[in-house]
Amino acid sequence: MKKLRFGNIGVYSNKEFRLSLNDIDKTSVWKLYSDEEYGTNADACECSFKKLALNSRFVVESYYLPITPTELDSAYSIENYCEYNGDVLKCGYSEERGTFSLHLGENEELCRRYGIGDVYDRYIGSRGYECFNDLWIVVPEDEVSDVWEQRSPIKGFPFHGPERVYVRKDGVWLR
């Protein structure tokens, strides 16, 4: 399955789980979660995770574990990047459509090069306010060669491992 991962990850007992700060109940406690992308339910049970009630914001069976930074082997935040026409851009992927969404950001030169046109006219004129954050283009999968996870340390947590992990190299998916 071709998926790009994103968000905060915690490595616990040599297994990856989703990591989030639980501010919903105002406890400011970090928690690890198993879900469809990170950490199987078997992994969670093996690591003594607690079952999450299905009436919560999670709609599939999931498990959680309150955690402190010192209990983790490593923790990092993931953003996805790719190389497209010699440019390095943030990206997303739709397996269903076989396309990549590439984020052009506020770079007017990139926007013009990829056919968006004048950013001011397109966004100020049509919406009446400045909005640069949603400047994306969608390209076919075969036009993108390299895709990687850019891993950044999360403040207060240990970080071990590479900062860049390729998920697609020279047009071939690695996982």
Which string of b and e fits 138-165 if b means at least 16 CB within 10 Å?
A: ebebeebebbbbebeebeebebeeeeee
* pLDDT for the residue numbered 129: 47
* pLDDT for the residue numbered 24: 58
Residue type, 28: S
Q: What is the pTM of this model?
A: 0.81
* pLDDT for the residue numbered 50: 85
* pLDDT for the residue numbered 108: 76
Residue type, 80: N
* pLDDT for the residue numbered 81: 97
Contacts of 161 (CB under 8 A, 6+ apart): 74, 76, 151
HSE-up of residue 134 (Cα within 13 Å, Cβ side)? 7
Residues of the chain with pLDDT under 50: 122, 124-132
